[in-house]
Amino acid sequence: MKELIGYCNSCAKEIYCLEGFFNGIQSDDRKIYCFECYECNQKENPQA
């Protein structure tokens, strides 16, 4: 099962729930990011 959850807050890529697993990252401020943007953000700003 594939269900659209929302869009990456950084690049607007579609983020899905795939077979019950959230295919992205939700930040502490409840924004969602794709894995690529989240990793890039962590490298640029490790304190976030």
Residues 2-36 have pLDDT tens digits of 999 999 999 999 999 999 999 999 999 999 999 99
The reported pLDDT for the residue numbered 37 is 95
More confident residue, 3 or 47: 3
The reported pLDDT for the residue numbered 48 is 56
Per DSSP, the residues of 18-46 read ETTEE-SEE-TTS-EE-HHHHHHHHHH-T
Tell me how far apart the alpha carbons of residues 24 and 33 are, in angstroms, rounded to a whole number.
6
**Which stretch of 2-6, 9-13, 37-41, 44-48 has the lowest confidence by average pLDDT?**
44-48
pTM of the predicted structure, to 2 decimals: 0.79
Domain ranges of the chain: 2-44
